[in-house]
Amino acid sequence: MKQSSDNLNPSKEYYQKSNLNLDSWFKVTLIDYEKLVNNHQLLKIINSFGNNTIKLLDIGCGTGAFPNLLDQEIDSQIKLSSDLLDVSEYCLNQCSSVFNQLKYFQTNEVFASSIENIQTTIPRSNYYDIIWAIHSFYTVDIKRIKDILQHIGKLLKPNGIFLMYQASSDSCYYQLYDFYLKNYEQPNNSSKFIVAEDIQETLDLLELQYDLIDFDYNHKIDYENQDLLEVYLKKCILNTSVDVLSLFKEKKLQYFQPQNNQFSFKQKTKLIIVKNQ
């Protein structure tokens, strides 16, 4: 496993085994990945590589939830030889274990690194057929986004594709984290979440063409399930030490639907597709 130093990052502290309650989290949020893997345009891109073995870089791979679902939808004999990059060694180990059970994915190299250090961690050029970042850029240093995206472009082979799945500024992911930054006296970060619009603005500055696919869905939690609500809110702010039920006592009422007796958190996410010309 190759490692590099990284900046202080709430994701690194949060994504440890002791902090994660993924079974509960995915009871609410697996819809994020289900919506994505069932999108016909995404599947068309993946299946367009036919029966070839292709190089994939999974940036911020997490525990492999997205490839695990996508593996069940692929309709070709493609093989994805996959390099994994994540700030959490626990997530890298979990994702590698998941890949070992999949039909179309296999782990190649593993990089323990923040996204900010991708230029030194993966310096090679014209190497990957596909690079994707699925819910991976939220806590990246906004001042580094331009350089990072430029470097990702250099990592793509001719006709390679970069896919980014990122929440929009009017998603609850963003709203809840922004509320936390403004109302908690010692947040674990001082910067707002990076949202899809930040990425679009940077791509426009770089004069890179891209396509967009919009996704709208809701995360639903029954009112009685306060334990699940607590897990959800802590994950949204990447901080397990906060008394979130108290912090969001008034805020969460905005998302309560009395007719269903449940909280409904509206998410708006964009898939940004950049093709290397």
Q: Which pLDDT score is estimated for 204?
A: 97
Q: What is the pLDDT of residues 71-93, one digit of tens each?
A: 999 988 899 999 999 999 999 99
Q: What count of other Cβ atoms lies within 10 Å of the Cβ of residue 204?
A: 11
d(CA 129, CA 131): 7
Return contacts of 24-30, CB within 8 angstroms, 24+ apart: 24/227, 24/228, 24/231, 24/232, 25/231, 25/232, 25/235, 26/65, 27/228, 28/219, 28/220, 28/221, 28/228, 28/232, 29/219, 29/232, 30/65, 30/69
Q: What is the pLDDT of residues 158-172, one digit of tens each?
A: 999 999 999 999 999
Looking at the DSSP bridge assignments, the partners of residue 162 are 131, 274
d(CA 139, CA 263): 25
Q: Which pLDDT score is estimated for 170?
A: 95
d(CA 237, CA 227): 16
Report which of 36, 22, 44 is spatially closest to residue 165, judged by C-alpha positions.
36
Q: Which pLDDT score is estimated for 21?
A: 66
Q: Which pLDDT score is estimated for 158?
A: 93
Q: Which pLDDT score is estimated for 23?
A: 80
How would you write the pLDDT of the chain (277 residues) with one tens digit per residue?
Answer: 444 444 445 544 444 444 456 788 889 999 999 999 999 999 999 988 887 899 999 999 999 999 999 999 998 889 999 999 999 999 999 999 999 999 999 999 999 999 999 999 999 888 999 999 999 999 999 999 999 999 999 999 999 999 999 999 999 999 999 999 999 999 988 899 999 999 999 999 999 999 999 999 999 999 999 999 999 999 999 998 999 999 999 999 999 999 999 999 999 999 999 999 7
Q: Which pLDDT score is estimated for 14?
A: 43
Q: What count of other Cβ atoms lies within 10 Å of the Cβ of residue 156?
A: 22
Q: What count of other Cβ atoms lies within 10 Å of the Cβ of residue 89?
A: 15
Q: Which pLDDT score is estimated for 8?
A: 47
